[in-house]
Amino acid sequence: MYQSDKEQEKKEILKLYKRILGSYNYSLSREDKIEIRKAFNFAQEAHKNARRKSGEPYIYHPLEVAYICSHDIGLGVTSIVSALLHDVVEDTDYTIEDIKLLFGEKVSKIVAGLTKISQLSSKYKSLQFENFKKIILTLSDDIRVILIKLADRLHNMRTLNFMPEEKRFKITSETRYLYAPLANRLGLYSIKSELEDLILKYIEPIAYNDISNGLKQTSEERNKLINHFISPIKEALDRHGYKYRIVSKERSISSIWKKMKKNEISFNEVLDVFVIKIIIDTPLKEEKIDCLKVYSIVTDYYKPNLDRLRDWISIPKSNGYEAIHTTVMSDFGQWVELQIKTERMNEIAEKGYVAIWKNRSDNKNDKFDNSLDEWMKKISENIKESDTDTFSFVDDFKLNLFSEEIFIFTPKGDLINMPKKSTVLDFAYNIHSEIGNKAIAGKVNRNLVPLNHVLKSGDQVEIITSKKQTPKPEWLDFVVSARTKSKIKAFIKEEKKKDIKIGKEKIQEVFKHFNLEFNKDNILKLMQYYNIKTETDLYYDIANDKINLKKLKSTYKAIDSKGSVGILKYLKFSLSKSKKNKENVSDIIIDQIKLKKRGLLLDENPKYEISKCCNPISGDDIVGIVEGNTVKIHKINCLKATQLMSEYGNNIVKVRWSKNKQILFLTGLKIIAYDKIGLANEIIKIISVINKINIQTLHIESKSGIVECLLMIYVYDTSILDSIINDLKKIDGVKKVLRIDKI
């Protein structure tokens, strides 16, 4: 528990302030120091009576954010001032106009971009997503808003343990959904890694602690191996006269966890838990050739795995990252990953686009300018072209900017980077929207392919067009880039507008012919009769002859005599179906007080559903998300839950399992074993006979002497499941037993 000590707090505040000044990479002018001091004094006065959830003075937070901006990201004085002031407008009575008057227009615009939207006019919108959208929209104007926001989010994640459980779920989900991928896309790898580690700490605490402890326990042995490995490389680099430094770095905990999950292995089976960086100091013009020479020196001593060689110098990543990555076999029988880069490349790897801007002014190197300009241009285009709702806007932004990349050649040999899993049609729209609109097929490496053909790195693509072609709604089912989706949606929307106008004119003429009044009541009756949700959909269906206007008079007679009865039956059916699907059982305890406080409780006994996307069982760490009058129960680490909590943080509710042992939950197991006679019988005996557990589904497949067995079984809780897993592991020949959510 934090104990307040005013004198000690004053000393700490001054220490944090001086740390910011000391972290700045360049010499501060007298004017700069005055401006930073003015912002510090102003923020301290504005937040003087405020404290964080930890009990600490609130001013600690903006001071920490300003330090991250200066030290970890490398931002300048304007950003430091903005970081110190970033919460003043949101949390105090000061306005943007006050900030503008005291600190100028640049700082006021950045602070305005960082100030959250506090309320929405429509209850159907998501406050979180509107704030996401606001932040994204600043990218094309001033990227510093995003960078300061990432610093703010990093410090919030570092102090998340002081927050209530629902708030932790909300902030962690937002970070997982948007901020960590955004840090990665901006090239801020150290911030991205720390954010991902902190996410893991809160959604998979057992895994986080196990890996963290494992790294500590193996640290001494690992250092010995690293020193032994780099010794001959150092001797060779010294002989060749290189200025260099060799840095060994542990993989992030989250990176190790991803490897464990992907390869279905334990921590002890992860061989490459560290990366070795060889960083050379060499002139810009000599960078590529010197990095290749160092690669040659390394492979004189250790054999490389050619499948894992990556040349990010010849073709840098779109976020500016450059290096040669290789994996070599050490003389102690383990694969070791090496990264070969220059000091300039390493700075970009640590500080992303901020370092590129610095190098831009220092070097005027076209390659770096083009990488940055192309990325910013892409963002600006997507923002200008997008007229979709907020959810689609944010999802398209994620899809386009956070995906892995492939490299495609045009017929003339130009290189274009595109999102992974891009299709021929995505490529067509990337070249020009008119080429995309008229595309009918493509030639990939001179072979004719359809528009939905998925491309891979190195393909050379030519687009075949036709003047008669127009975009189709079904194209949206297979394209992946946000630009392509935006262009197709824009075309379809314009065409739909034309159809809606035609449909409205048609129905007006028919109403006039049958002496029916063209008003909202009559239109609403038609919509209900044909089960159409919106007026524009009705006109669209009429234009496309989905509704027979010749029978309009008889249709209205049917509406008058049977319409209301038909609708009543439909409602009764919907209600009974809903009730059946949401049958309540007493196995979840819901925090109804929180629901009432937030106005989310629509029923004294709220129903809940166990979500099928992750199939949580009693004993799992869970979260409740309110949808209508139902609380959906998800595992905390469920990706679907992450998105829902990112959209509607106010709908998160604290839930826990009761001690009811009468409820059965469906969960899955994956068993990998060597093939042998009677294996299936042994598996069934352990589950059904010994543990008396019912099997819903059993699928066994044998390939090349290895059996993969997938089961869905009903259990009461995780303790029973763990017992079954332990029993199955004892079967002779069983290599792995893993829990899965579904088959």
Q: 651 near 703, Cβ under 8 Å?
A: no
Burial 298-324 (b: 16+ CB within 10 A, else e): beeebeeeeeeeebbbeebbbbbbbbb
Nearest Cα to Cα of residue 442 among 432, 455, 458: 455
Q: Return the bridge partners of 444, or none.
A: 447, 461
**Angle 195-14-91 (CA atoms, 0-180°, nearest 5)?**
60
- How many whole angstroms separate alpha carbon 218 and alpha carbon 272? 13
Between the CA of residue 494 and those of 434, 487, 488, 501, what are the distances in Å?
15, 11, 10, 11
Using DSSP bridges, classify how beta strands 652-653 and 622-627 pair: parallel, antiparallel or unpaired.
Answer: antiparallel
Judge contact between 328 and 302, C-beta under 8 A: yes
- What Rg do the C-alpha atoms of the chain give, in angstroms? 30
Q: φ, ψ for residue 101 (rounded to 5)? A: -65, -40
Instruction: Judge whether 91 counts as a catalytic residue.
Output: yes
Distance of CA 708 to the CA centre of its chain: 31
d(CA 710, CA 699): 5
Alpha-helix residue ranges (DSSP H) falling in 163-303: 165-174, 180-185, 189-203, 205-217, 219-239, 253-263, 287-301
* Type and span of the H or E element at 740: strand 734-740
> Which alpha helices (H) appear in 240-318, and where do they start and end?
253-263, 287-301
Catalytic residue among 9, 12, 56, 91: 91
28: left (phi over 0), alpha (psi -120 to 50) or beta: beta
DSSP state of 124: T
Which residues are bridge partners to 668 per DSSP? 712, 740
Q: Who's near 107: CB < 8 A, 6+ residues apart?
A: 78, 81, 82, 85, 99, 100
Q: Which residues contact 374 (CB under 8 A, 6 or more apart)?
A: 318
Cα–Cα distance for residue pair 635/624, rounded to 1 Å? 9
Is residue 89 within 8 Å of 42, Cβ to Cβ? no
- Give the helix, strand, coil percentages of the chain, each rounded to 5: 55, 15, 30
How many residues would you count in the chain?
Answer: 743
The residues, any chain, with a CB within 8 Å of residue 122's CB and separated by 6 or more, are none
CA atoms of 724 and 739, how far apart (whole Å): 11
For the question of residue 72 being annotated catalytic, the response is no
Return the closest-CA partner of residue 479 out of 415, 384, 403.
Answer: 403
CA–CA distance, 232 with 249 (Å, rounded to integer): 19
Contact 718, 620 (CB under 8 A): yes
Sole residue written with tokens 């009461």: 716
Name the 3-class secondary structure at 455.
Answer: coil
Residues 6+ apart with CB under 8 A from 287: 313, 342, 344, 345
User: Which secondary structure element, helix H or strand E, spans residue 623, and what is its range?
Assistant: strand 622-627
The residue among 8, 396, 13, 341 whose CA lies nearest residue 187 is: 341
Which residue type is seen at 198? L
Q: Which of 90, 434, 603, 675 is catalytic?
A: 90
The catalytic residues are 90-91
